[in-house]
Amino acid sequence: MSARAAATKTVIITGASAGIGRELAREFARRGYALGLMARRVDRLEELASELRRQGARVEVAALDVARDDTVHAAVDALREKLGGLDIMVANAGITAVNRTGAGDISKDKDVIAVNLVGAIATLDAAAKHFRAQKRGQLVGISSIAAFAPIPGSGTYSATKAALTQWLRAARAELARHGIRVTAIHPGFIRTELVGNMDKFPFVIEADVAARAMVDAIEAGKGEATVPAWPWKLVRPLLGLLPESLAAKVF
């Protein structure tokens, strides 16, 4: 292995086939990282991998449905072995759903919990086991501003993001003595093809701009970051003080 290859950092990103995950992969590739990309849609991953390889990046891909949490550890371990190591794990895979309270069917809610919370924890736990052994590494969870400002009609989505943020905070306190950093990213409203009508929300930014700010925060080793920082850094402490009627109109 060359000295350059030995110095190359490696990142695995779940949910990398579209949206924020895809733009994170592009941004990490621009910065010289070796990439492990995971998602359900392997065809989309292969398209992205081909694009990044043409630009000189080392990329490996693997199929993963984080909702099948019993498969996550083995899939992460296999991809890590293929890459020859792991420095940063980004638990980005997530879904959203509108399900009005009292609809009489919580199947959507169960899917959101399985992906956004249980799947994210399984992903990060798989990496943490390896990081504890090597006494270094960084866990990154993509939470949401909805952790602090619950969205009416998407209560389960908001609840999973609040729970993920608290899990990451607990993990940060627990793992610091093992040399492991833990970063919670709280995106605001990001324009991607995954969510329609995004322009009705406040402070919307493009996914590539968001990814650049996220990777900046990750590389800086921040414990928590909101994206974009402005104005959410100012607004976030006030969100819990908003009257519920006003919050409902805003979100």
Tens of pLDDT, residues 75-134? 999 999 999 999 999 999 999 888 888 999 999 999 999 999 999 999 999 999 999 999
- Of residues 238 and 47, more confidently modeled: 47
Six token digits for residue 190: 């990001």
Please name every residue paired with 62 in a beta bridge, in sequence order, or none if there are none: 38
Of 74-88, 157-171, 186-200, 229-243, the poorest mean pLDDT is in 229-243
- pLDDT above 80: residue 195: no
- Of residues 156 and 231, more confidently modeled: 156
What pLDDT does 100 receive?
87
The residues, ordered by sequence, that sit 6+ positions from 58 with a Cβ below 8 Å of its Cβ are: 8, 34, 35, 83
Mean pLDDT score, 199-218: 89
- pLDDT above 60: residue 6: no
What does 148-199 look like in DSSP terms, one character per residue? Answer: TSPPTT-HHHHHHHHHHHHHHHHHHHHHGGGTEEEEEEEE--EE-TTSS-GG
d(CA 132, CA 186): 25
Quickly state the pLDDT bin for 191 (edges 50, 70, 90): confident
d(CA 180, CA 170): 13
Neighbours of 84 (CB within 10 A): 14
Kindly report the three-state secondary structure assignment for every residue of 118-147. HHHHHHHHHHHHHHHHHCCEEEEEECCHHH
| Average confidence score pLDDT of the chain | 91
- pLDDT above 60: residue 143: yes
Classify domain 3-250 by CATH architecture.
3-Layer(aba) Sandwich (3.40)
Would you please indicate which residues are annotated as catalytic (active-site) residues? 157
What pLDDT does 5 receive?
41
Please provide the size of the chain in residues. Answer: 251
What pLDDT does 22 receive?
98
